[in-house]
Amino acid sequence: MAATSDTYVAQTRPDNWLARLFDNKAFLIVVCMTPAVGLLVLFLTYPLGLGVWLAFTDTRIGRAGEFVGFFNYELLFSDRVFWMAVWWTVFYTVFATIFKFALGLWLALLLNHYVPFKSVVRAIILVPWIVPTVLSAIAFWWIYDPQFSIISYVLVDVLGWRENYIDFLGDPWNARWSLIAANVWRGIPFVAICLLAGLQTISPSLYEAAMLDGATPWQRFVHVTVPMLMPILAVVLTFSVIFTFTDFQLVYAITRGGPVNATHLMATLAFQRAIPGGQLGEGAAIAVAMIPFLIAATFFSYFALARRKWQQGGDDD
């Protein structure tokens, strides 16, 4: 009977090389990761590598280029339009991110309390984020129209605060602040919903303990809410900076970099030089120049998340 049982076990659980292979944890990890790695190589690594290579060539549309080293970067170093695009990209990213976080946090704090029809309100708040960017850009294009702007109509014809309609997109600084306003409108829902999710993970007992200690609402916000939100704040801030820094559709659909190249971001300038201008090498060089900024934002997120005592309101060792 024992021999028969051993034979049955041996038949049902064969100890061959294939079974041992699939029992190997390292082999299973490789098998499971291979499809994901293949997709990343195909759709991310290859285009990125090709872009970096083109940045070192004089490739034009319809003509294969030759390796020119850092010639494209030397041209950009003396290009006034490029440096204006760099300055405006940083300015646009900093101010849009500040406004999005200030208004998004305020909105998240409001929604964290009891609000009638809270689910409906949250769904409505998400509308600016889920609407296609081009549709949003067309709407803002009409809002900023020099003749049919609803803002100018209210200020001039209804309230009588101005004599002339505002030239939103014809004046450089008006166009810049108009783009920041449009970006803030689109980005607030993302920040608000993410921070709201973080607020709802904070235990009410922490606020109750702070109230028993006599903490004011501001002190509870500074010493309880902000430290507990630091992990999600670091992640959301990083994504917000990356999304804003690489913004293309909104700017290109509203101003196309005008007036007089005043609103060109690095992304829109790279596209203009590469596709309409035909200078693929120069456009790729501008795009590659964005990488250090994005790496800096990513490292900020990594080190911020690693500083656990800082997240909890203390100092690191």
68-311: CATH topology is MetI-like fold (1.10.3720)
Q: Give residue limits of the domains in the chain.
A: 16-54, 68-311
**Residue from 244, 198, 226 nearest 89 by CA:** 244
Residue 245: which residues within 8 A CB-CB, separation 6 or more? Answer: 89, 93, 265, 266, 290, 293, 294, 297
DSSP alpha helix (H) spans, the chain: 2-12, 17-22, 25-40, 46-54, 71-77, 80-111, 118-125, 127-130, 133-143, 150-153, 172-199, 204-212, 217-220, 226-245, 249-254, 266-274, 280-289, 291-306, 308-311
3-state DSSP call for residue 57? strand
**What is the pTM assigned to this prediction?**
0.82
Q: CA–CA separation, 286 vs 72, rounded Å? A: 9
Give the DSSP letter string of 273-300. Answer: HHTTS-BHHHHHHHHHHTHHHHHHHHHH
Quick check: 52 and 288 in contact, CB under 8 A? yes
**Residue from 282, 268, 265, 254 nearest 71 by CA:** 282
From first to last of its 317 residues, the chain has per-residue pLDDT tens of 554 555 544 455 556 777 777 778 888 888 888 888 888 888 888 888 888 999 999 889 888 888 888 999 999 999 999 999 999 999 999 999 999 999 999 999 888 887 777 778 878 888 888 888 888 888 998 999 888 888 988 888 888 888 889 899 989 999 999 999 999 999 999 999 899 888 888 888 888 888 888 888 888 888 888 888 888 888 888 888 888 998 998 999 999 988 889 999 999 999 999 988 889 999 999 999 999 888 887 787 767 655 555 444 455 54
What number of CA atoms fall less than 13 Å from residue 9's CA on the CB side? 6
